[in-house]
């Protein structure tokens, strides 16, 4: 259990490295004071442009690749590899921890992003084929409604469904999908409120059904 605890902590600390805030320091901006006030990729794109947003995505996805693809197999000095720790559970715990760290980063006063890009990186390691339905649902939702946040929530909601059908005996993946789907809805609760109020921003360049 010592290995599980240390690696979960390591994944959380990796998650706490926020791409938009790290790159924003180099530019002299804090995007949490601009746009929607969120430190995620969508707000980075709207307030700082494509190049900045691309850098943010590279950092936020990359840290998940490290946390899920590299950290679980790392032999920590003084800790080693615990044979009693299930490797599948270790991987999903690290995946959840890196997403949680992105949303509540210890390095940035626990004010981070909403976890979507980091979750994509984690899923890319755990079950890369699961990205296909996630991205398809996201794209269709954004094309039909213009709401990026709604697309993110519905796309993430496909994870537990996908894992239940494709890997029904993999309890760690199914549990991970359920927890992440609920967590992403929670992190997007402000988007839901703005949608109800009719003031949520839309991706007009992608939105096919916008009024003419």
Residue 212 scores a pLDDT above 70? no
Percent of the chain having pLDDT more than 90?
67
Confidence check: pLDDT of 89 > 70: yes
Predicted pLDDT at 27: 83
Per-residue model confidence (pLDDT) at position 44: 84
Residue 80 pLDDT class (50, 70, 90 cuts) = confident
* Residue 74 reports pLDDT greater than 80: yes
Task: Identify the pLDDT of residue 110.
Answer: 94
Lowest mean pLDDT among 103-107, 167-171, 187-191: 167-171
- 24 or 163, greater pLDDT: 163
Asked whether the predicted pLDDT for residue 25 surpasses 90, the reply is no
- Nearest CA to 114 among 35, 190, 184, 191? 184
Domain ranges across the chain:
1-126, 129-212
Lowest mean pLDDT among 44-53, 59-68, 186-195: 44-53
pLDDT in tens, 7-22: 999 999 999 999 988 8
Model pLDDT, residue 35: 79
Cα gap 112→212, rounded to integer Å: 36
Give the residue-averaged pLDDT of 69-94. Answer: 91
Average of per-residue pLDDT values in the chain: 92
What is the rounded average pLDDT of the residues 114-143?
A: 96
Which whole number is the average pLDDT over 120-146?
96
Residue 42 is predicted with a pLDDT of 79
pLDDT at 211: 66
Task: Give residue-wise pLDDT tens across range 145-187.
Answer: 999 999 999 999 999 999 999 988 899 999 999 999 999 999 9
């Amino acid at each position: 259990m010592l290995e599980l605890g240390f690696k979960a902590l390591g994944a959380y600390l990796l998650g706490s490295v926020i791409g938009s805030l790290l790159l924003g320091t180099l530019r002299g901006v804090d995007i949490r004071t601009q746009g929607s006030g969120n430190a995620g990729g969508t707000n980075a794109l709207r307030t700082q442009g494509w190049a900045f947003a691309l850098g943010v995505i590279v950092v936020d996805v990359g840290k998940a690749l490290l946390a899920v693809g590299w950290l679980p197999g790392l032999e920590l000095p003084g800790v080693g590899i615990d044979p009693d720790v299930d490797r599948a559970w270790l991987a999903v715990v690290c995946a959840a921890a890196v997403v949680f760290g992105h949303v509540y980063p210890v390095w940035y006063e626990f004010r981070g992003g909403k976890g979507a890009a980091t979750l994509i990186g984690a899923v890319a390691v755990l079950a890369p084929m699961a990205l296909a339905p996630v991205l398809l649902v996201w794209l269709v939702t954004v094309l039909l409604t213009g709401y990026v946040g709604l697309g993110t929530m519905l796309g993430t909601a496909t994870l537990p469904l996908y894992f239940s059908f494709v890997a029904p005996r993999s309890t760690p993946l199914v549990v991970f999908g359920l927890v992440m789907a609920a967590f992403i809805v929670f992190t997007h609760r402000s988007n839901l409120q703005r949608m109800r109020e009719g003031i949520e921003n839309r991706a007009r360049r992608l939105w096919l059904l916008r009024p003419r």
